Amino acid sequence: MSAFGHHGLSLVEIGQAEALWQRARARGPLRGPYYAARVAGIVSAVRRGAIGDPVFGRRLRAIKGGRMRARLETIDAHRERPRRGGLMKALAVRRARKATERARWLHSLTPRQREALTMDRRRAAVAASVEF
């Protein structure tokens, strides 16, 4: 007795469905909704005549691959965009990193270079405060 006899398939189609079912069971046991979905998929493929059709297989694979790619691109886009709550934290981390870099850079200067830098700042402040 075949599990596919009551789906309205011909004897040839039942043979194809049984072959697909044996291949599916070899991959591992199925229970519950997975079982029903697998049976429905086999019946649908046999009725459509998609068994042994490489064009259909490639199209199905391309659709699945395209969905996965779109999903991964969406995940990457969300990963790149900082969260609103985390934005302030990100800015604080950036400020701290920049301050550390500047302190290291200032520490690497000679006393004469530091003095020249201070004089340049004073000149800029004086120039900014003078109105023309």
Handedness of CA 111, 116, 122, 124 (dihedral sign): negative
Q: Check: pTM over 0.95? Answer yes or no.
A: no
Residue 22 one-letter amino acid: Q
pLDDT on residue 97: 92
73-130 pLDDT, tens digit each: 776 666 666 556 677 788 888 899 999 998 898 888 888 888 888 888 778 777 777 6
Length of the chain: 132
pLDDT on residue 76: 66
Residue with tokens 């996965």: 68
pLDDT on residue 38: 85
36: enclosing H helix or E strand: helix 33-48
31-68 pLDDT, tens digit each: 888 888 888 888 888 888 878 777 777 777 777 777 77
Closest to 47 (Cα-Cα) out of 22, 1, 10: 10
pLDDT at 15 over 80: yes
pLDDT on residue 69: 77
CB 57 within 8 A of CB 65: no
